[in-house]
Structure 1
Amino acid sequence: MNATVTRPSASRTPLVALACVREDLDGVAHAAVRQVYVSALEDVAGCAVVLVQGPASWLPSVLDRFDGVVLGGHESNVAPERYGAPPAPGPRAPERDELALSLAPLAIEAGLPLLGICRGLQELNVAYGGTLRDIGALPIGAAHREDLSLPRDGQYLPLHDIAVTPGGRLREITGQDTVRVNSLHQQAIDRLATGLTVEAVAADGVVEAVSVTDASAFALAVQWHPEWYAASDPVSKPLFTAFGAAAAAHARGRG
C-alpha cells in the first residue's frame, strides 16, 4: 500500500527588485545602493532583495519572477532631456534613468507592487509623461535640503509637515491627515503625469506623494526618505509594512 505524504505548505518570501546605480569606487565599478534600503525591505517589509542595474533589456523576460519593484533615491538627478527640458549641469546616472523609466510602467502593467522613494517618485512621474523642476536654488528648497552640519542620522530626521490627501492610499496607510517627513531633494514634480494621483503636498506646494491611479496593485511613490527610520518612524514603518503585505500577496498568488 502506498502512503500519501502531506507536506506543510511553506510561506513564500516575496522577492523584490531594488534599482541600483553604477558607481566607481577606488577605480572599480560597483553596483551600489545604500544599505538602509535593503534593511528596510528585509527587516520591515519582510522581503528578499535583488539588485537590478540598467540598462536591462532582459528585465521583461524575468519580471514574472519578482513580487515587487522599488525605485529608491540617489544623489543623481533625472536628466532633463528625459522630460523634454534643455540639458543642464548636475549629477547624472543615465543607466539608472533608462532602467527606471522602462521598469516602472512594465511593473505596473504586470501587476507588481511598486514603491518609489525620492528619485523614484520623480522617475515615476517622468515615466508616465510628467515633467520636473529644479527647486535647489529656490527659497522653498530650504525645507527640502539636509543640514550638512549635522551627523547623517540627524540630517534624515523629519523636518516638515505635509498634508495627506483625504481618501487616498497614503491616508489609508498612515491614518493621518498631516504627517512629518524628511524630504531631501533637488528635483520636484512640475507637471503631474496623466495617470498619477497626488497623495500628499507640502505647504510650499511641492508634491510629496503620488499613486498610479488605475494600478491593480500597490503603486505609491513618496518624495521623502522613509527608509532611514523604517523600523521606528510612525509614517515610515506602516509604508514599508503595506508594501511588504502587497508583495507577500503577490508571492502567494505566484506560488
Structure 2
Amino acid sequence: MSRPIVGIIGNPHILDDDYPIHAVGHMNSEAVATVAGCLPMMIAPDPRLVSVEELLEACDGFLLTGGRPNIHPEEYGEPETEAHGAFDRCRDAITLPLVRACVERGQPFLGICRGFQEVNVAMGGSLYPEIRDLPGRMNHRMPPDGTLEEKFALRHTVKFSAAGPFHQMMGAQEVMTNTLHGQGIKEPGARIVIDGYAPDGTPEAIYVKDAPGFTYSVQWHPEWDSANDPVSRPLFEAFGEATRAFAAARRGQPLRQSA
C-alpha cells in the first residue's frame, strides 16, 4: 500500500507585499513525511476552492496546523473585539465542519495550536481571546525576537491525567513542551476531554470522548524537531499509525507496518 495521504491545512500569506499565497510550514510536512510516515499534501482552506466532502475522500487524515489568524468568535457565539486579533473566516468554514465530519467517520486528525482551538470550537466550545490577560496565567505567546531555536525552545511542563491516553502515549505523566499561543480554551466543547494542563491551569492536551478515530490535539508545537523530541515523536508516530489503519480499512487492504 502506498503512503496514506495527510491533508495539511494551509494558511494565507502575502508574498513580497503583493502576491497572495497559501502555505504550510516545512516542519509540518517534514513531520508528516518522516515521523508519521505519510504523504503530506497541502490544503488551501477556502470553501470557494475545496469542499469538506472532497477533502474527506481525497485524504486519509488531517493535520490542523497553527496559524496567526484566530477563529472568529461568532463561531462560538461571542462578539468580535480588538483582543481577538486577525481572523480567517475561510479557514473556519472548512476546518470546523471538517473536524465534526472526521469525528463522526473515525477519520484521524491531529490538531496543533490553532488546530487545537478549532477542535474545541467545532465541538461547541469557546475560547479566551488572550490567555496572558487572565489572573494567574503565564504569557504563552511566542517571543518576538530570537532564532527559530530560541522561539521554539521548551518553555513549561504539561501534566497529563494519570493513566490517560496522553500519559500512555508519552510514557510519562509530565513532559516539557514548546507552548506558543495567545488564545486558549474557555469552555470545553461537548465530548472534549482535557487530558493535560500547563502549570497555570491552561488546557494543553485534549481528545474527543468516545470518538472512533484519532482525535488528539495539543496547544504546543510538536512539529518542531519532531524526529528527535521525545514528546513530539510518539505523537506523530501514533498519528501515522492511526492514519495507516484508516486508509487500509477503507481500501479493504491489510495494514502494513511502517518501516
Residue by residue, what CA displacement relative to the aligned partner does 1:190-209 show, whole Å, maximum 9, x if unpaired? Answer: 00111111110111110001
Seen in structure 2, the aligned counterparts of structure 1 residues 48 and 219 have a Cα distance that, compared at 3 Å, is: same
Amino acid at match of 1:125: N
Seen in structure 2, the aligned counterparts of structure 1 residues 126 and 138 have a Cα distance that, compared at 3 Å, is: same
1 CA distance for matches of 2:33 and 2:135? 37
Question: Match of 1:95?
Answer: 90
Amino acid at match of 1:183: T
- Partner of 2:217: helix, strand, or coil? strand
* 2:139 is aligned with 1:132: no
The percentage of counterpart residues that share the same residue type is: 36
Question: Match of 2:45?
Answer: 54
Structure 1, unaligned runs of 5 or more: 1-10
Q: Give the drift of 1:39.
A: 0.7
2 CA distance for matches of 1:216 and 1:119? 23
Question: Match of 2:115?
Answer: 120
Structure 2, unaligned runs of 5 or more: 252-259
Amino acid at match of 1:238: P
- Partner of 1:190: helix, strand, or coil? strand
Q: TM-score, normalised by structure 1?
A: 0.91
2 CA distance for matches of 1:151 and 1:192? 34
Question: Match of 2:35?
Answer: 44
Q: Give the drift of 1:61.
A: 3.7
Q: TM-score, normalised by structure 2?
A: 0.90
Q: CA RMSD of the aligned region, Å?
A: 1.5
Question: Match of 2:256?
Answer: none
Seen in structure 2, the aligned counterparts of structure 1 residues 140 and 52 have a Cα distance that, compared at 3 Å, is: farther
Amino acid at match of 1:232: N
Question: Match of 2:249?
Answer: 253
Count how many residue pairs are aligned between Structure 1 and Structure 2.
Answer: 245
* 2:57 is aligned with 1:64: yes
- Which of 65, 75, 83 is equivalent to 2:76? 83
* 2:224 is aligned with 1:228: yes
2 CA distance for matches of 1:29 and 1:230? 29
* 2:3 is aligned with 1:13: yes
- Partner of 2:102: helix, strand, or coil? helix
